[in-house]
Amino acid sequence: NVTGQPYILHTNVFTQGKGNREQQFYLWFDPTKNFHTYSIIWKPQHIVFLVDNTPIRVFKNAESLGVPFPKNQPMRIYSSLWNADDWATRGGLVKTDWSKAPFTAYYRNFNAETCTRAGSCTSSNPRYSNGAWQMGQELDANSRRRLRWVQKNFMIYNYCTDLKRFPQGFPPECRQ
């Protein structure tokens, strides 16, 4: 990160071994100043990415359009550092300063709350105590408003609008 520049959060969804569904966001805070909560809510209807309980991205199940959705695959969450400074860092404008290595990230209070199709949920979060978690509800009005705010003000890359990458037409899920 260039001093004083916003940090970028990169998201991607992989299904059947294929990703290429990237969205990138400037964070609206300095993530080095305090711990923050990064969450993924993964339901058969959609996958929601959140930062400090603010939704930043929704990847809807578009199997009806022929788009694979990771509903029958084991869940894996990866956090990694890789050299993608030819494209991922503000379009390749910022190069990684490898002389600053080693790079370290800290995690605390990692928690996985699970629900199975046939079983019950293990969530202790009161937000889901009314059954909304099990029912797969869509985002409420306030969450939709916050999602639009983030996407309007902080999204810097969306594969669904990248004409250079998809000159023959956008992927089917982008038409939803």
pLDDT of residue 150: 98
Q: Where are the domains of the chain?
A: 8-175
pLDDT of residue 12: 93
Q: Which residue has the higher pLDDT, 79 or 28?
A: 28
DSSP character for 48?
Answer: E
Q: Which of 18-22, 103-107, 114-118, 165-169 has the lowest mean pLDDT?
A: 114-118
* Distance from C-alpha of 152 to C-alpha of 25, rounded to nearest angstrom: 10
Q: What is the pLDDT of residues 20-44, one digit of tens each?
A: 999 999 999 999 889 899 988 888 8
Could you tell me the pLDDT band of residue 167, with boundaries at 50, 70 and 90? very high
Residues in contact with 30: Cβ distance below 8 Å, sequence separation at least 6, in sequence order: 7
DSSP string, 53-119: TEEEEEEE--GGGT---SSSS-----------TTTTTTTTTS---GGGPPP-----S-------SSS
Residue 85 tokens, joined: 């400074």
* Distance from C-alpha of 58 to C-alpha of 42, rounded to nearest angstrom: 10
Q: What is the pLDDT of residues 126-163, one digit of tens each?
A: 454 444 444 457 899 999 999 999 999 999 999 999 99
Q: Which residue has the higher pLDDT, 74 or 139?
A: 139
- CATH label, 8-175, candidates 2.60.120.200, 2.30.40.10, 3.40.50.740, 3.40.50.1820: 2.60.120.200
